[in-house]
Structure 1
C-alpha cells in the first residue's frame, strides 16, 4: 500500500493536499482501517503525508519556506554524495547508472511525463544508494519526495529543465573520476530545478484595485 501511494505521489498522480480517506483506502487495498492508519502514520514520519486531528490524512503540501529548506539541504548533501561515489565507483555501479539514464531518456522521448518525473527523482536516490552510506540514502529518499511535492505545487507554466541531459553530465563526470566537476554540475542542476519553480512568497492580501481595475 505504502509503495503504491508513494509511486502515485512521485508520478504526480496524487497531488499535494489530496485527502487520503481511510475508508476509501481500506476498500481500494482490501484491508482494515487499522492497517491504513498504520501505513499513513509511517508515511507521515517520512513526510509524504500530513495528519490532522478530526480531518484525517492528506498528501503533504510543503510551504515555500519548507521548499527552500529542501533545496538548501540538497546543496549541502548531494555534492558529498557525488564525491563519495567517485571514490567508490566500479563497473557494476556505472552500469546501473547508465541503465537508469537510458530509462529516463526513453521516458522523456516517449512523452511519458509521469515516468519522467518519477525517474528523475529516483536518479538522485540511486546516487546515494551507490555511494554506500545508509544515512545519506535515508536523507535523499526524504528530500527526493519533498522535492517531488514541491515541483508539483510550484512548477512554472513553462518548465525549462532538461533533467536527463543534466543527469547524464553528472554521470559522465563521475565516470571520468572528475569529482569537483561532478559536484559543480550537481550544484548547477539543483539551482536549475529551483530556478524553474515559483518560490516567491505571495502577498497575504490580494491587490483588488489592480486585479479589478484592469477589467474596467
Structure 2
C-alpha cells in the first residue's frame, strides 16, 4: 500500500475512533447517565475506550467547543454545569431559533419529512409505554434536532444540537421531572400542525412547549458521584 494511502487509512481510523467515543459520551449525557459537573479524566477514559490520551483529548476538545464539556487548566475536563443565567440564555435562544426552524420546515415540507417525524414520535410513545426513562430523555431531545435537520439548514441543525444538549444538562441539573419536562403529546401536536402546514399554530405550540419545560425547572442543584467505567462498560 502506498504511503499516502496508509496515511489516509490511519486518518480515517482516527476520525472514526474519535467520532465513536464522542457519540458515546454525547448519548450518555443525553440519557442522563453522565451528570453535570462529572469529571472526565483523560487517563480513565483512555483506559475505558482502549485508546491513547491524545484521542481522548481530541474528543474532549470537540465537546468543549460545543459547550458540552468545560476545560479547566490544571483541573481537567468536566461535563458542563449550566448556571441559572446560562439556562435562561439557552431558552431565550431556542425561542428565537425554533420558530424559524418550523417555518423553514413547513416551507420545505414533503411526505417523507412528515413520515420521519411520525416515526420518531412513535418511538417516543413506545418509550413512554415501556417507561424507559433513558430512551424518553434521549428521544425528547432528538425530536428537536430532527426537526432542525429536516428543515434543511445545516447551521440551524448544528446550533439546535448544541442547544438541546445544554437543555438536557439543565433539566438534569435542576431536576425537572422527565415525565413533564418534554411531553410526548406536545410533540405530537406540533407534528400535526406541521403536517397541516399551519406555521402559526406550530410556532405557538413550540413556544408553549419551551415555556413548559423552562417553568418545570427546580433551581436547587444536587451533586452526585459517578462511576465512568460503569457507564461505558455496562
Q: Same fold (TM over 0.5)?
A: yes
2:218 matches 1:198: yes
Q: Secondary structure, in 3 states, of the residue corresponding to 1:51? A: strand
Q: Secondary structure, in 3 states, of the residue corresponding to 1:160? A: helix
Equivalent of 1:146 in 130, 141, 166: 166
5+ residue gaps, structure 1, are 202-216
Q: Secondary structure, in 3 states, of the residue corresponding to 2:164? A: helix
Contact 2:36 2:80 in 1 (8 A): yes
Aligned to 2:55: 35
Aligned to 2:8: none
CA root-mean-square deviation = 1.5
- Structure 1 distance, partners of 2:159, 2:108, is 20
Contact 2:37 2:78 in 1 (8 A): yes
Aligned to 2:227: none
Aligned to 1:91: 111
Q: Which region of structure 1 is more displaced relative to structure 2, 174-183 or 155-164?
A: 155-164
- Structure 2 distance, partners of 1:66, 1:80, is 22
2:126 matches 1:106: yes
Q: Give per-residue Cα distances to partners, 1:154-206, cap 9 Å, x unaligned.
A: 124695345110000000000011110000000000000001002489xxxxx
2:77 matches 1:57: yes
Give the TM-score normalised by structure 2.
0.83
Q: Secondary structure, in 3 states, of the residue corresponding to 2:74? A: coil
Give the number of equivalent residue pairs: 201
Classify 1:52/1:43 alpha carbon distance in 2 versus 1 (closer, same or farther; 3 Å).
same
Equivalent of 2:147 in 85, 104, 127: 127
Equivalent of 1:78 in 87, 93, 98: 98
5+ residue gaps, structure 2, are 1-20, 222-234
Name segments (4+ residues, structure 1) moved above 6 Å. none
Give the TM-score normalised by structure 1.
0.90
